[in-house]
Amino acid sequence: MMPDVTINHREKAHALLKADAEKILRLIEVQIENLTMPQCPVYEDVLDTQMFGLSREIDFAVRLELITEEEGRNLLGNLEKKLNILHEASQSTL
Q: Where are the alpha helices (DSSP H) in the chain?
A: 2-33, 41-63, 69-92
pLDDT digits (tens, 9 = 90+) for 41-79: 777 787 899 999 999 999 999 999 999 999 999 999 999
At residue 37, the pLDDT reads 59
Please determine, for residue 81, whether its predicted confidence score (pLDDT) is greater than 80. yes
Q: What is residue 1's predicted lDDT score, i.e. its pLDDT?
A: 40
pLDDT score recorded for residue 94: 56
What pLDDT is stored for residue 38 in this prediction?
A: 55
- Residue pair 66/9 in contact by the 8 Å Cβ criterion: yes
